[in-house]
Structure 1
Amino acid sequence: MIEFPASHGRGLDAQGFLAREGSLARVRRDFRPVVDAVRERLPGVLGARLDSAYLYGSIPRGTACVGLSDLDLLVALCAEPTDADREAVRALGEALDTEFAQIDGVGTLLYGRARLLSDLERHDLGWFLACLCTPLLGDDLAGRLPRYRPNSLLARETNGDLAGRLPRWRERIAGADDTETARRPLVRFMSRHLVRTGFTLVMPRWNGWTSDLREMAEAFGAYYPYWAAQLRTAARYGSEPVGDRDVLRTYVDDLGPWLAEEYARVHGVKTPRPEGWD
């Protein structure tokens, strides 16, 4: 397992590399039974196909709220996931969500080990695993990945694809039921993505990392004051979403296009992935 020195501010260690956020020691007491259940059940669900599993998000950061926070998992398989693998982890997540009232949903990212360690994903999924994920099961793949700095390459490869996402977002909005209930998850998802994109736009200048949406918005606002209020609002909606269609329209017709254009100007566009490699 790779070891990172203690953070020395803004998510960096003493050498200026991004320190790994989160740890099992930070999991609050209320959420430990959920984490224990994942550790016990996941090997039985995936068997020999399971390579390793990780927690990410608010639970390993110690900031989760009982009854409001979801359980976020990254699962690495020995081979590329099949439909049967996806159905198995979906069913497990549904069972956990039903059994444990302290969580509000389970989200699982499922990838093959080779993809996570590939050169193409070195500064996207690889960085995500090495810096934002907490080992739960198996040998930690972070030991086979490099150390990372908050530079323009990392910015480009993590969030330099917003322009390509916007048409798909418009399709999702158009296809959603015309109700506040249906729009609220879209607002939450798109708000979070835009805030994180805004933050990574300025990350090399800010020189660090944070997963706190409000801190991300404040960091962005220091460099782009004209857009600061919009990103602060998006940060709020990322945690407390509304079902307002005008918010979604603003995201895909105003803030989103500007952010995509500015991102490409500053950092370039993310390296294209093979078709079907979502």
Structure 2
Amino acid sequence: MKHKGLDADGYFEREGSLGRVPAAFAGVVAAARARTAEAYGHRLHSAYLYGSVPRGTARPGRSDLDLLLALHHEPAAEDRDTAEVLARGLDEDFPAIDGVGILLHGKENLLSEAERYDLGWFLACLCTPLLGADLAEHLPRYRPDSLLARETNGDLAAMLPGLRARAAAASTPEELRRLTRGLSRHLVRTGFTLVMPRWGGWTSDLAESAEVFGRYYPQRAAQMRAAAAVALDPVADPAVLRAYVEDLGPWLADEYAAVHGTKTPR
């Protein structure tokens, strides 16, 4: 029996499937499969979708397309250039999507012990196979425990200086919206994984994540609900970014370290 994203034994159920892709996104998913295979050829081990498109919750014209590509080697400059061209072409050719994000990783890194509870978990539980042999077959099953919480999102404190610099440098409305959307998502997901072991389950829904967080930290619930709303409808407001990097982010980083510890250095 399904319960909070877990199977009957308390392990994560893999979210998303190609069967859940909304009809409005079928064309771009087919193009992503074909163009990825053509662009990377023998360099590619496998490709995966993640995010709202394979979960079936994507909104035409509002949602982005997210891809994880596993290469036979560690990504080089040529691979990153290929990803940039691929992403730009898909974004320009398919109005159903608002942006394309492509993550590149070497196969050995994805399967490494160091990444077992971060990238490995991400691939095995949150990614939907699109091309090639599924690396999840070589990874363990996962539970929503404190180890997973620490290794997935226990690096917020280390990220904050860079985020402050990016927030200070953002000037155009497009830059502000892009950064606000990304940081909102990150804070909401970090807030959720902070309480994930106590809640005993998993959700990728940002609104639900904020609500679950708020049950354990009512004094911060309104801030997290607002961040979830901004993640879906980003704003070009520098004040929102300042509040994230000067208030909510530092508090969340300190609380996370106190509850779960900090992410193992890579």
Task: Give the corresponding residue for 1:106.
Answer: 100
Task: Give the corresponding residue for 1:3.
Answer: none
Q: 1:262 and 1:228 mapped to 2: Cα distance?
A: 14
Report whether the alignment pairs 1:61 with 2:69: no
Range with bigger deviation, 182-191 or 212-221: 182-191
Q: 2:180 and 2:33 mapped to 1: Cα distance?
A: 32
Aligned pair partner of 2:224 in 223, 231, 247: 231
Amino acid at match of 2:236: G
Q: 1:184 and 1:101 mapped to 2: Cα distance?
A: 18
Task: Give the corresponding residue for 2:189.
Answer: 196
Residue 105 of structure 1: CA displacement? 1.3
Task: Give the corresponding residue for 2:254.
Answer: 261
Aligned pair partner of 2:175 in 177, 182, 189: 182
Q: 1:201 and 1:251 mapped to 2: Cα distance?
A: 17
The correspondence of residues 198-213 of structure 1 with structure 2, limited to 5 A, is 198-213=191-206
Residue 93 of structure 1: CA displacement? 1.3
Range with bigger deviation, 123-132 or 7-16: 7-16
Report whether the alignment pairs 1:161 with 2:155: yes
Task: Give the corresponding residue for 2:20.
Answer: 26
Identity of aligned residues (%): 64
**TM-score, normalization: structure 1?**
0.94
Q: 1:173 and 1:42 mapped to 2: Cα distance?
A: 32
Q: 2:35 and 2:110 mapped to 1: Cα distance?
A: 23
Amino acid at match of 2:158: G
Q: 1:36 and 1:184 mapped to 2: Cα distance?
A: 28
Aligned pair partner of 2:233 in 229, 240, 250: 240
Number of aligned positions between the proteins: 266
Task: Give the corresponding residue for 2:9.
Answer: 15
Report whether the alignment pairs 1:87 with 2:86: no
Task: Give the corresponding residue for 1:4.
Answer: none
Residue 66 of structure 1: CA displacement? 1.0
Task: Give the corresponding residue for 1:171.
Answer: 165
- Consecutive unaligned residues of structure 2, counting only runs of 5 or more, are none
Root-mean-square deviation over aligned CA pairs = 1.0
CA deviation map 1:7-51 (0-9, x unaligned): 612100111001000000001112111111122121211111100
Q: 1:176 and 1:82 mapped to 2: Cα distance?
A: 27
Give the ranges of 4+ consecutive aligned residues of structure 1 lying more than 2 Å apart after TM superposition: 179-182
CA deviation map 1:144-192 (0-9, x unaligned): 0000000000000000000001100111012222x44431211111111
Amino acid at match of 1:175: A
Residue 235 of structure 1: CA displacement? 0.5
Amino acid at match of 1:130: A
